[in-house]
A = this chain, B = another copy of it.
Amino acid sequence: MTQNRQIHLDNRPQGEAVAGNFKLVSAETPALQDGEVLVRHHFLSLDPYMRGRMNDAKSYAQPQPLGQVMQGGTAGEVVESRSPKYQPGDKVVGFGGWQEYSVVNADQPGALKKVDTTHVPLSHYLGAVGMPGVTAWYGLVKIIEPKAGQTLAVSAASGAVGSAFGALARARGCRVVGIAGGADKCNYVTKELGFDACVDYKQHKDAASLSKALKEAAPDGIDGYFENVGGMVMDAVMLRMNAFSSIALCGMIAGYDGQPVPMTYPQLILTNRMKVQGFIVSEHMEVWPDALKELGTLVGSGKLRPRESIAQGIESAPEAFLGLLKGRNFGKQLVKLV
C-alpha cells in the first residue's frame, strides 16, 4: 500500500470554476488483485473539456462525479504488476485521473497503452502524440478535408491541439493562420511552429476588429477553421470564411462558465454554404493509429515542436487547470508528479 494524494471534485462551480471546487485528499492504494497493475503517474494532462464535465449538465460525457478523483489522462510507469502484460518499468499512458498513483485492470481494453519513449518524450503522449494531437488530426482530415493551397485557421493556436493542427495543415500544403492571446504566444506560433501568420485576439475588443485583422492575415479568406474557443473569436472568423468552407467544432471554452455564448451570425452558414460540425475524438478510435503515426513522425523529426506548461506536484493541479481555462498556459498544460 502506497500513500496516494488525489484531487477530488468537492462541489460544482456556480458560474466560474474556482479552487474551492477541488479538494486534496490522501488515500492509500489498495492491494493489487490478479490482472491489475499499479501505475505511478509522472504527468497528469489538464484539458479544457474537463471544465464541461464539472457541470451537472447533459453532455456527451457523464458529469464528473462529486467526491471522486478528477478524471483525466495520465502518463507514467508501471511500478508493480500482477498482469503478464506489463512489467515494472513499462512506460504507459492511461486515464488515471488527478492522483499520484492508479490501480488499473490490465485486461480492460484501452485502459492502458505501452509507449516508446526512444524518440518521443513521455509527456508528449498526453499532447501532440496523444488525445490533443488526434483531435487536431480528426478535425483537419475528416471534417475540414483540406486541399493544398487553401487557407486554414485555428484558435488557441499555441496550445496542444492548435500546434498539432498547424503542423498537420502545413504538411498538406495549406496556409495556416493561428489565433492566440498575446505577443509571446503569437511569436511562438509563427517562429517556432511555422504558422504563416498569427493574430493576437487580445488586441481586439470585438469581432469586427478581430475580423479586420484576420483579413490581413488571410487575404484570400478562410477555407477551414478549427474551433477551440467559441464566442467572439468564432464570430470574427466566420465573417472571413469563404463559400463552401468548413468549421470543425471541438471546444467552446468561452461557454463553459455559466451562460451559453451565442453565435452572432448563423446566417453566414447559409449564405456561404458552410458546414459546421462538432465531434468528440474518443468516438473515432478507428483513426487513432493513423493519426498517432503521423503525429509521432512529425514530433520525432522535429517538424512539430510542442511546448509545454508544467506545474509541479499534485497540489498544483487545480490552479494550473484554472489558469488553462483563462489561457494562462503556454502550450500543453501538464502537472509533473515525479
Residues on A facing B (Cβ under 8 Å):
52, 58-60, 230, 234, 243, 249-252, 255, 260-267, 269-280, 283
Contact = CB atoms under 8 A, between A and B. Distances in A.
Given A260-B264, A262-B264, A58 B274 contact: no
Nearest to A58: B271
B275 A60 contact: no
A273 B278 contact: yes
A285 to B, nearest CB: 15
7 contacts: A230-B267, A249-B266, A252-B267, A255-B266, A262-B263, A262-B264, A263-B266
A335 B218 CA distance: 46
A43 to B, nearest CB: 26
A260 B270 contact: no
A228 B279 CA distance: 25
A235 to B, nearest CB: 9
For this chain, the copies found in one complex come to 2
A55 to B, nearest CB: 11
Residue of A230, A234, A266, A267 with most partner-chain B CB within 10 A: A266
B279 A273 contact: yes
A252 B274 CA distance: 14
B266 A261 contact: yes
B267 A60 contact: no
A252 B275 contact: no
Contacts of A52: 271
A60 B272 contact: yes
A167 to B, nearest CB: 24
Nearest to A277: B275
Nearest to A60: B271
A265 B275 contact: no
Nearest to A279: B273
Contacts of A265: 260, 262
B272 A278 contact: yes
A234 B263 CA distance: 13
Contacts of A275: 275-278
Nearest to A283: B273
A132 B309 CA distance: 54
Nearest to A252: B267
A263 B247 CA distance: 16
Given A261-B266, A267-B260, A60 B277 contact: no
B274 A278 contact: yes
Contacts of A59: 271
- Most chain-B CB neighbours within 10 Å: which of A230, A251, A273? A273
A280 to B, nearest CB: 6
B250 A270 contact: yes
A280 B267 CA distance: 13
Given A255-B266, A260-B266, A270-B278, 20 more contacts: A59-B271, A60-B243, A60-B273, A230-B266, A234-B266, A249-B266, A249-B269, A249-B270, A251-B270, A252-B267, A255-B267, A260-B264, A260-B265, A261-B266, A262-B263, A262-B265, A266-B266, A271-B278, A273-B279, A274-B277
